Amino acid sequence: MTYHAGRHFLQIPGPTNVPDRVLRAMDMPTMDHRGPEFQAMAKRVLTGIRTIFQTENPVIIYPASGTGAWEAALVNTLSPGDLVLMYETGHFASLWKKLAEKLGLKTEFIAGDWRHGADSAAIGERLKKDAGHEIKAVCVVHNETSTGCVSQIGEVRKAIDAAGHPALLMVDTISSLGSLDYRHDAWGVDVTVGGSQKGLMLPPGLSFNAISNKAIEASKTASLARSYWAWDEMLAMNDKGFFPFTPATNLLYGLDAAIEMLHEEGLANVFARHQRHGAATRAAVEAWGLEVLCAEPAHHSGSLTAVLMPGETGADALRKTILERFDMSLGAGLSKLADKIFRIGHLGDFNDLTLIGTLGGVEMGLEASGVPHQKGGVDAAMAVLVSATAKEARQAAE
């Protein structure tokens, strides 16, 4: 293999680049997970992670991918044959639906076009028709990683309340937690699903369930089979600073450092940074004469941008060229979007200069691949960043 000087640009929308500080925190001898040193760290992490979900309630941490947290959310709150209402925002919403069906749940999918977030009005109308309250849960992906579209969870909660429906609200934040403003308590979410490998700046391997009191009550009568995922044993042990099974000790070291980093920057600043990078990336796409997949500006994501390829040009050939020539990985189109889009991840440990390097790689790749486009995307992005930085400086001085 040919050696590439410089670092690899991992600009897929997760897993994201792991900062040195987190890597160094994980690079420690494994401690006794039944001892007092671990107990102190675990209590700190279990308390700190609540601030990232913006909740006062417990957050359960599993050694698993986000798929495990999907399953945990369902099996702890539902019973065989229960009906779950889900919204088709994209590939990952579809996978969550398939998982629910494998568990013995009935699902109803509100069709979407993969270019918008969830339609809260459509969810509300469906719930109003459910006079017998057969629907036991509503599941929505906050930031659909396959499309770059954000669902307005606060509006979904309002729609559920307006329908007077008791269904649980479950939300996937795997590519938004620690990157986009998300409010578990304020938005009345019952179970929030998260993962470690994106905005939390960790490798894959940790997943989360933030749970409401209503969800805890539902878990007491739910009858889907569960053992490893059971909340009750986790809550009892977590209260003492321990876990009912061997935890991912070194990943928890890293999570401790990541939470500290997010607090040092300030969550409001983290969210503003991601919004700035999303706006700059979309400005570049527009300047190139290409089209952002997400068609509704109110649903644009600060975590990633999915870009439609022009005409019959394939996205995978472009991604291959960019990887081979510039050592940069971009996200592929998934399932029905395969070879039709490429996805630019701009989340996690990511700054303005990293964004300009990323967009420079894309612009050079478009030219090298002969993809029809206009020049000037990087310049357009820089203009957005300069303007945003100047505005932030003025606000800080006031």
For 296-355, how does the pLDDT look when each residue is reduced to its tens digit (9 = 90+)? 999 999 999 999 999 888 999 999 999 999 999 999 999 999 999 999 999 999 999 999
pLDDT for 1: 63
Determine the 3-state secondary structure of 82 from DSSP. Answer: coil
Domain finish residue from 263, 281, 313? 263
Is 14 domain-assigned? no
pLDDT for 250: 97
Is 10 domain-assigned? no
Q: Are residues 230 and 274 in the same domain?
A: no
Is 150 domain-assigned? yes
Report the interhelical angle of 120-128 vs 153-162 (nearest 10°). 20
Question: How far, CA to CA in Å, does 242 sit from each of 9, 200, 224, 341, 358?
Answer: 37, 22, 25, 44, 41
In whole angstroms, what is the distance from residue 216 CA to residue 219 CA? 5
pLDDT for 104: 98
Whether 237 contacts 38, CB under 8 Å = no
Q: Are residues 231 and 296 in the same domain?
A: no
CATH (domain of 357): 3.90.1150.10
Q: Are residues 164 and 259 in the same domain?
A: yes
The proportion of the chain whose per-residue pLDDT surpasses 70, expressed as a percent, equals 100
pLDDT for 177: 98
Is 164 domain-assigned? yes
**pTM assigned to the model:** 0.96
Checking if the pLDDT of 2 tops 80, the result is no
Q: Are residues 218 and 342 in the same domain?
A: no
Domain finish residue from 263, 284, 314? 263
Q: Are residues 237 and 277 in the same domain?
A: no
Q: Are residues 120 and 256 in the same domain?
A: yes
For residue 397, name the pLDDT band (cuts at 50, 70, 90).
Answer: confident
Residue 34: HSE in the Cβ half-sphere, 13 Å Cα cutoff: 3
Whether 24 contacts 253, CB under 8 Å = no
Q: Are residues 273 and 391 in the same domain?
A: yes
Q: Are residues 25 and 148 in the same domain?
A: yes
pLDDT for 392: 79
Is 235 domain-assigned? yes
- Parallel, antiparallel, or unpaired: how do β-strands 207-211 and 59-62 relate? antiparallel
DSSP single-letter state for residue 17: P
CATH (domain of 170): 3.40.640.10
Question: How far, CA to CA in Å, does 28 sit from each of 24, 25, 43, 249, 258?
Answer: 8, 7, 19, 10, 15
Is 62 domain-assigned? yes
In whole angstroms, what is the distance from residue 175 CA to residue 189 CA? 17
Consult the annotation and say whether 343 binds a ligand: yes
Q: Are residues 178 and 274 in the same domain?
A: no
Place of tokens 């509300």: 124
Q: What is the extent of the structural domain holding 299?
A: 267-397
Instruction: For the chain, give the mean pLDDT.
Output: 97
The count of structural domains within the chain is: 2
Q: Are residues 258 and 300 in the same domain?
A: no
For residue 375, name the pLDDT band (cuts at 50, 70, 90).
Answer: very high
E-strand ranges in 261-389 read 291-292, 304-308, 328-332, 341-345
Is 5 domain-assigned? no
Q: Are residues 319 and 243 in the same domain?
A: no
Domain finish residue from 263, 280, 295? 263
For residue 210, name the pLDDT band (cuts at 50, 70, 90).
Answer: very high
Q: Are residues 277 and 255 in the same domain?
A: no
- At 74-107, the pLDDT tens digits run 999 999 999 999 999 999 999 999 999 999 999 9
pLDDT for 207: 98
Is 7 domain-assigned? no
